Amino acid sequence: MEEWVGGLWHKYITRKANPEFDEARVTFDEVSKSVGMVFRALGGDVVKRVEAATGREYLTRKTFLQKISGDNQLVSLAWQDHESLRLPESLAVFPTTELNYDLYIWLSVLAANHSGKFTHWAKDNQQLVVEVLESFPSLHSRYNRLAQSFVELRADLSGMSEEEAQMERLIRQSILTPGSVSDFPVVNFAPKAVYLWLYPSASSDEVLQAQFDESSLEEQEKEQQKSAKKTKNSRKEAERVESPDERNGMMIFRLESMFSWSEFSKLDRGSDDSDEDDEDYERTIDDLDKITLAQQQEQQKSAQIKVDLDLPSASEDDIPLGDGIKLPEWDYRKQVLLEDHCLLQPMLPRDSKPAKLPVKLQKTAKTIQAQFEQLQSVRYWLKAQPQGEELDLAAWLDFHVESKTSATAEKGLFQSFRGNHRDLSCLLLADLSMSTDSHLDDDNRVIDVVKDSLLLFGEALQAVGDNFAMYGFSSVKRSNVRFTMLKNFKEKYNDDVRGRIQAIKPGFYTRMGAAIRQATKVIAEQNTSEKLLLILTDGKPNDIDHYEGRFGIEDTHQAICEAKRLGIKPFCITIDVDAQDYLPYLFGSDGFTQILRPAQLPMRLPQLYHQLTSQNS
């Protein structure tokens, strides 16, 4: 009975304490496509992902009901960094769905016209609003409607201290008349969230830049900022716990720095490691949802534990071929190609033995081979020739009409029946990362589907007689990009190749740029007029060092551009459900295809090759 009554009370008091309008709530999923289109159409970075921002604690004064209910009031605000634009998971700020929807659109417009960096949060947002309204006058009515409604919903000034009331009045003036306020007071609590503005990114380095008025904290602050420079994560919740000697347990807020995302936490930098694994630590931080900082004594080196993905022993690993190949990598931040930045290691599957085509694929292989044999035997008429087996009636008619009106030299009036000539080379590059170890159903993994696809692809191209090669790739950091040779251009497709394909295993990560560069070198050496680079993958570029997010996307994009400049046609086949978020930027709208049912990949791969190359026949 007590639990039942307690549950009712909790629901009641939480609902009363919640200032949002749940009946008018609009979720990010409902508007994700619209805001993405607006963001990119108005100049937003095409590479940036548009995603939902998780709720964060926001240090502001709570109402009496919020204190009773214990409501932490997690706030989801709009911010962006160099990799993504983050918009609230849902908006229920206004009492109507129309206004909440308009707020999503407004935030995407602001983000499209802002870099994400702030020198003074309040002043910069005012200036941004002014610039956007000047550039897009049609948005005046939408903004005025949002601003007026938002100000009307702000808290009553009567319950605030004079300093806080002054801050609130200036915030309201900034919203209603952007650019009119140039000076803001310092207060102990942040004002209520300003949903009409963008916030600085939630990276810990920005959070730690909040200014304090206690001189005793100066040395600690230097250490915080020094530590923050090492952490470039832009998606984490950061906390700072108050020191016991801080005045009244309050933080002094200055808008020229930023509002705190959270309550205080003590700084815990741990011990400094200056070894070559610093980039790995940064990626580990990227995987955390929340970063908590607290002061603590330095930990002994002997107590530290490193966790990493170990490579198999030399006796169990694939067989390396040579000492490796040094390759460049594109650093989009510096806009420079870093020479000899990656080491690619060609390898052969260790346990491969000559093998026949599996029985389960033999019937399908015969069907595909028959289709490709027809492609090989295609014959066609070559028009407008000076001599040939038959008269070209269209060419003769054109010549006859022209000769009646003016003196016309005789052109080719015949047509000749020619056999098909396929002057092309194809290299199939397969992603063998650890994600291919995932199961599609009880009997099949992604890697099993990849093997079947490679086998049927080989059977098909053997039937048509095209020049082709097959490689796989995965990686563990830039110093270990694994490039598995399944068939090179000089080899015949035989049982040795089939055995290598059946021996491949899921690898590690997906450093796609280096693999594409090496594949480009290999196929560029072929003396054919057409060169096709097929890339088979189940996810976006990634690795456990800095090669994540935008860095991997930009490097891969650069590698693809390099291949195109050499006359190579890259084309991607993916089973990644999120492929539409990044593949149009990498390959263009017509440079990839998405297989929604991975089990269909073995049949679809040869069919796609048929479609891509039949125009060259």
Q: How far is CA 325 from the centre of its chain?
A: 28
Residue 5 has pLDDT above 90, yes or no: no
Strand 568-574 to strand 530-537: parallel, antiparallel, or no bridges (unpaired)?
Answer: parallel
Q: Containing H/E element for 187? A: none
Residue 555 has pLDDT above 70, yes or no: yes
Residue 107's pLDDT band (boundaries 50, 70, 90)?
very high
Structure token pair of residue 484: 């598995």
| Cα-Cα end-to-end distance for the chain | 80
Cα separation, 377 vs 382, in Å, equals 16
Q: What is the per-residue pLDDT across 68-81, written as a single tens digit (0 to 9) for each?
A: 555 556 678 888 88
Residue 86, SS3? strand
Residue 172 has pLDDT above 70, yes or no: yes
Q: Where are the beta strands (DSSP E) in 502-579?
A: 530-537, 568-574
Q: How far is CA 457 from the centre of its chain?
A: 29
**What is the pLDDT, as a whole number, of residue 22?**
82
Cα separation, 401 vs 551, in Å, equals 61
Which of 484 and 242 is assigned the larger pLDDT?
Answer: 484
Which of 388 and 354 is assigned the larger pLDDT?
Answer: 354
Which of 130 and 14 is assigned the larger pLDDT?
Answer: 130
Which of 4 and 560 is assigned the larger pLDDT?
Answer: 560
Residue 241's pLDDT band (boundaries 50, 70, 90)?
very low
Q: Mean pLDDT throughout 449-476?
A: 93
Residue 164 has pLDDT above 70, yes or no: yes
Q: What is the dihedral of CA 210, 79, 110, 31, to 10 degrees?
A: -150
Residue 282 has pLDDT above 70, yes or no: no
Residue 227 has pLDDT above 70, yes or no: no
Helical pair 359-376 and 601-614, crossing angle rounded to 10 deg: 10
Structure token pair of residue 481: 């990009």
Structure token pair of residue 140: 């005046």
Which of 506 and 262 is assigned the larger pLDDT?
Answer: 506
Q: Mean pLDDT throughout 64-93?
A: 75
Q: Indicate the residue type of 166.
A: Q
Q: How far is CA 92 from the centre of its chain?
A: 28
Cα separation, 501 vs 159, in Å, equals 73
Residue 278's pLDDT band (boundaries 50, 70, 90)?
low
In the block, residue with structure tokens 């990114």: 201
Residue 61 has pLDDT above 50, yes or no: yes
Q: Indicate the residue type of 238.
A: A
Q: Is the CB of residue 458 less than 8 Å from the CB of residue 497?
A: yes
**What is the pLDDT, as a whole number, of residue 71?**
54
Domains belonging to the chain, first-starting first, are 16-199 (no CATH), 223-299 (no CATH), 349-372+422-614 (3.40.50.410), 381-419 (no CATH)
| Alpha helix (H) residue ranges in 177-277 | 204-207, 218-228
Of 59, 165, 127, 122, the C-alpha closest to 256 is: 122
C-alpha distances out from residue 491 to 362, 428, 444, 494, Å: 22, 14, 30, 8
Q: Where are the beta strands (DSSP E) in 289-413?
A: 290-293, 319-320, 325-331, 336-348, 379-385, 390-391
CB-hemisphere CA count at 13 Å for 518?
Answer: 28
In the chain, what percentage of residues exceed pLDDT 90?
41
Cα separation, 50 vs 326, in Å, equals 35
Residue 57's pLDDT band (boundaries 50, 70, 90)?
low
- In sequence order, the 6+-apart residues with CB closer than 8 A to the CB of 307 are none
**What is the pLDDT, as a whole number, of residue 11?**
57
Residue 311 has pLDDT above 70, yes or no: no
Q: Mean pLDDT throughout 529-544?
A: 92
**If you ran DSSP here, which 8-state letter would residue 435 be given?**
G
Q: What is the CA radius of gyration of the chain?
A: 31
Q: Is the pTM of this model over 0.75?
A: no
Which of 470 and 36 is assigned the larger pLDDT?
Answer: 470
Average confidence score pLDDT of the chain = 78
Residue 610's pLDDT band (boundaries 50, 70, 90)?
confident
Out of 129-143, 164-178, 312-326, least confident range: 312-326
Residue 483, SS3? strand
**What is the pLDDT, as a whole number, of residue 182?**
87
Q: Where are the beta strands (DSSP E) in 454-579?
A: 467-475, 481-487, 530-537, 568-574
Q: Mean pLDDT throughout 428-447?
A: 89
Q: What is the per-residue pLDDT across 502-527, written as a single tens digit (0 to 9) for each?
A: 999 999 999 999 999 999 999 999 99
Beta-bridge partner residues of 49:
84
Residue 218 has pLDDT above 80, yes or no: no
Q: Is the CB of residue 149 less than 8 Å from the CB of residue 21?
A: no
Structure token pair of residue 60: 């502001």
Q: Mean pLDDT throughout 304-317?
A: 61
Out of 261-270, 329-338, 370-379, 461-470, least confident range: 261-270
Residue 130 has pLDDT above 80, yes or no: yes
Which of 194 and 243 is assigned the larger pLDDT?
Answer: 194
